[in-house]
Structure 1
Amino acid sequence: MAAAVGNGHACCKKGPGYATPLEAMSGPREALLYVTCVYTGTGIEKPDYLATVDVDPSSPNYSKVIHRLHVPYLGDELHHSGWNSCSSCHGDPSAERRFLVLPSLVSGRIYAIDTKTDPRAPSLHKVVEPSDIAEKTGLAFPHTSHCLASGELLISCLGDKEGNAKGAGFLLLDSDFSVKGRWERPGNSPSFGYDFWYQPRHKTMISSSWGAPAAFTKGFNLEHVSNGLYGRHLYVYSWPGGELKQTLDLGSTGLLPLEIRFLHDPSKATGFVGCALTSNMVRFFKNDEDSWSHEVAISVKPLKVQNWILPEMPGLITDFLLSLDDRFLYLSNWLHGDVRQYNIEDPKNPVLVGQVWVGGQIQKGSKVLAEGEDGQTWQFDVPVVKGNRLRGGPQMIQLSLDGKRLYVTNSLFSTWDNQFYPELLEKGSHMLQIDVDTEKGGLAINPNFFVDFATGPDGPSLAHEMRYPGGDCTSDIWI
């Protein structure tokens, strides 16, 4: 039987996070960022680490790494992260946003990191071993972690320990990080795993699908797509029951659906998923008869190119997020190299209002050329920041609570980094900050902010997901 999940209800008592998304926008400005940093797959035989970055403009250490917490083991590939408690627990005064949860995508370990004792220098609290997870659930390759209003933790897993996607499912941990079991009911596991988001008022959780770990861990091979080793579906579950109610086939326009977000307003029954390979933002929405549908809301057109592995290059949408007031959607095109801002006040008709190039395959100085319909070739002009040429392409993004600052890192996954941007393994990642116009729309690189992950004591590292100690746009869910 699937383990039961408490739903919880917010009330006048104060727990972690904020009562509403709009209240969160008035929260304090971020002063620290926690960033997962990877040595796995780079050739440097050192454990991955969690970096603490000073993002306080009044600090003498502004835009610098001030602490590195190295995990105990080699070969983890720290990737995404989540909190033990968030705004879904706001009605529980006994709950505390204290532990940052770090699933290791390759090894399968899950680390609980204490950020409360010293926020500037987090410490290791507990390790959940992959053998314990596999023995009790059969799951491996953990990815996305969300806290639940019950105090439990739900983590999506992408396959079994052999890397078969058919082993995908959802791991449930208790508040002490002990394995409880699978969340979904027996026989209700998804065909592929990746990201998920739940919306309790609509009694729904929806998950997305990357691919079989046995395929994507070896690098991207287009033949694996045609061989059925990558996903194109969304899986609609009852919440909190764990019954698979509907499978949405996104078809040829929805290949590799990755990050998924409902609107922050918990009363709204709609959201978006970024489909990487076809570079479409797909909107999903609830129908009157309690079923769900989908439609393409944003399309990033592929570019005709020269001197690349294919004659056309997709944008490759690898991350996106929504502002807390649900006014703006931001996405990153890892291959093209641009970050975009869309006004989504009408979710059916997003409007592009901001765009900035911060790297990519087609930046000036690259061997890759874009070709127009007239046969003329061109490249994107990418600025130098604090004397640094921008490398790689924009990947993970995180938005300040007030929506005015967007942080960007550039590592996707070590194997894919090595395939598409080998320079990242030689020189490491970097982090940028983009100033956001929240009135009319518009994006501009902050010329005074540049975090260089080339300069660590153990050599260059790959920086991925970012979290604020006080919560952020992509980890907090309201009930």
Structure 2
Amino acid sequence: MNMRPDPTFYASPRLAMEAPAEDFAYTLLLCPDASKPDALAVIDTKPGSPTYGRVVHTVPMPNTGDEFHHFGWNACSSALSPLTGHAFLERRYLIIPGLRSSRIYVVDTKPRPTEAKIHKVIEPEEVFRKTGYSRPHTVHCGPEGIYVSTLGGGGKDGTDGPPGIFVMDCETFEVLGRWEIDRGPQTLHYDFWWNLPRDYMVSSEWALPPQFENGIVPEDLLANKYGHRVHFWDLRARRNVQTIDLGAHHQMGLEVRPAHDPAKEHGFLGVVVDTTNLEGSIWTWWREGGAFRIEKTATIPPEPAPKELLPPLLQGFGAVPPLVTDIDLSMDDRFLYVSCWGTGEMRQYDVSEPREPKLAGSVRIGGIARRAPHPNGKAFAGGPQMVEISRDGKRVYWTNSLYSTWDDQFYPDGVPAAQVMARAAPGGGLELDGDYWVGFPDGYRAHQIRLEGGDCSTDSFCYPSV
């Protein structure tokens, strides 16, 4: 344990933006047919380095069939909380859940990223026994522990009781127990995040395991049986204080992105698809008069396409839905990045006025029908998916895989792992970096990215920017 706070803990978002640039990116690799173990790849992001944009270290796991998806740090800037913080922790360990196996790996990135190694393995039986949950998903480092959301309850198919959040000890990595005291009407789960000083949390909904593990269930989607509600929680009391239904046709509200500056009480939510017209959408929430409100503030239309360019799942529609599968907010809360996995577009919105997003930039790569190549001429299968932004807001990284069985339905020709990066102009605008192209070993797909020293979907802050 350090005797001084980790230098990668930042009191405010503005101080995080002034920190040194990342030298490495960590990316999860999954093997869709479980013929070999999933892995963690370490990528050199230092311009001018002889190994720039290349995998310089890999940590293979000892098991197969984990299905890596999301992951996070054991500790981050939230540890500087004046009330319940642990300021002498280190941002050292990556907590990597297996979404399909419910197994959790703890990977030690010290003494240097190129020597990262497995520190501990938490078997699924411990998760089941202590929480009653399964299918661990999102990981967030809180002031006093590690919070992990789940997509399944108990039982083999994960439908014995609702999913929720559990807490792990941030030093021993022991699973402590489920977080909720009063979940109210919450029965589905996906993402969550919070405003620590304002003492509230926001969570979203995807589906139960039978609705996603073997692929999307078209009948359930068209019957509006996927998640479409947003839940607001009293963080300290661990209870649901308000639930808002977006309307059943707004299917799969996934990523939640609160403003980084805790003085601001608003945030954003991405909705995958509107079943009435195939649109994707962005929603803005805010708190006013003690109550939370949310409204649709931007829509992204589907794109017509000939039947022969569409997978069987979409041929009856004659169009490609944008499929908003990830969003990310820059550290200064100015730009929101929106992954349109179906149409192959990364959108950049200026959200200086949170309830009036304005399209500021866009790049095309991949896509179900367009299949736009990278500037280097290489084919990019899939579309922009998991997106991560550097602390200074100048570099936007993304990968191309959503979830193994869904990849196969929407991109039946395959989604070989790839990672790219775009340069963001200070006043808005995006341009793909022609020199940054990360190739991975055959048989893998690439999912979430974490950046050395923290990034825009990792840290929550305890103090406002000055």
- TM-score normalised to the size of structure 1? 0.88
Q: 1:220: Cα distance to partner? A: 1.1
Match of 1:478 among 446, 457, 461: 461
* CA distance 1:124–1:204, change in 2 (3 Å): same
Tell me: CA distance 1:277–1:326, structure 2 relative to 1, closer, same or farther (3 Å). same
The alignment covers a number of residue pairs equal to 440
Which position in structure 2 is the counterpart of 1:7?
none
2:433 aligned partner, one-letter code? N
Query: Does 1:89 pair with 2:86?
Result: no
The aligned runs of 1:202-281 (5 Å cut-off) are: 202-227=198-223, 229-252=225-248, 254-278=250-274, 279-281=280-282
Alpha-carbon distance in 2 for matches of 1:431, 1:62: 13
For 1:14 and 1:54, locate their aligned partners in 2 and report how far apart those are by CA, in whole Å. 22
Q: 1:435 maps to which residue?
A: 423
The AA in structure 1 aligned to 2:72 is G
Question: In 2, Cα distance between the equivalents of 1:61 and 1:178?
Answer: 37
Measure, in 1, the Cα distance between the counterparts of 2:360 and 2:305: 26
Q: Describe the SS at the equivalent of 2:165.
A: strand
Task: Quote the Cα distance in structure 2 between the aligned partners of 1:361 and 1:299.
Answer: 19
Alignment of 1:270-349 (within 5 A): 270-278=266-274, 279-288=280-289, 290-307=290-307, 308=310, 309=314, 310-349=317-356
> Residue in 2 aligned with 1:421?
411
Partner of residue 384, structure 2: 394
How much has 1:167 moved relative to structure 2? 2.3
Matches of 1:93 and 1:291 in 2, distance apart?
32
**Paired residue secondary structure (1:237):** strand
- CA separation in 2, counterparts of 1:414 and 1:476? 28
Do 2:165 and 2:180's aligned partners in 1 also have CA atoms closer than 8 Å?
A: yes
Q: For the residues of structure 2 that align with 1:383 and 1:205, how far apart are their CA atoms? A: 39
For 1:254 and 1:116, the matched residues in 2 are separated by 43
> 1:374 maps to which residue?
none
Task: Please give the alpha-carbon distance, in whole angstroms, between the structure 1 residues aligned to 2:159 and 2:344.
Answer: 32
AA in 2 matched with 1:283: T
Residues of 2 paired with 1:187 and 1:260: CA distance?
Answer: 18
User: Structure 1 pair 267/225, CA: closer, same or farther in 2 (3 Å)?
Assistant: same
- 1:184 is aligned to 180
**Cα separation, 2, equivalents of 1:25 and 1:401:** 5
TM-score, normalisation: structure 2? 0.91
- Residue aligned with 1:120, SS: helix
**Secondary structure in structure 2 of the residue aligned to 1:417:** helix
Q: Percent identity?
A: 38
Query: In the alignment, what sits opposite 1:447?
Result: 434
Larger mean Cα displacement after TM superposition, 410-419 or 387-396? 387-396
| CA shift for structure 1 position 401 | 1.1
C-alpha contact 1:154 1:173 (8 A) present in aligned 2:
yes
Q: Deviations over 1:11-63 (max 9, x none)?
A: x9666511110111111111100000000x3x351000000011111211111
Task: Give distance in 2, aligned partners of 1:220 and 1:236.
Answer: 27
Q: 1:464 to 1:102 in 2, by over 3 A?
A: same
Structure 2 residue identity aligned to 1:451:
V
For 1:463, which of 437, 446, 462 is the aligned residue?
Answer: 446
Structure 1: distance between partners of 2:326 and 2:120: 29
What amino acid is the match of 2:123? Answer: E
In 2: Cα distance, 1:81 partner to 1:217 partner: 18
| 4+ residue segments displaced more than 6 Å | 12-15
SS in 1 for 2:406: helix
Please state if 1:135 is matched with 2:126.
no
Q: Structure 1 CA distance, aligned partners of 2:8 and 2:49?
A: 26
- Mapped contact 1:82–1:102 kept (Cα < 8 A): yes
- Give 2:39's aligned residue: 49
Query: Per the alignment, in what secondary structure is the counterpart of residue 268 of structure 1?
Result: coil
Answer yes or no: is the 8 Å Cα contact 1:337–1:357 preserved in 2: yes
Cα distance 1:13–1:107, how it changes in 2: closer, same or farther (>3 A)?
A: closer
CA distance in 1, matches of 2:7, 2:194: 20
Code of the aligned partner of 2:392: D
Letter in 2 for 1:249: D
Contact 1:158 1:165 in 2 (8 A): no
Q: In the alignment, which residue of structure 2 is the partner of 1:148?
A: 142
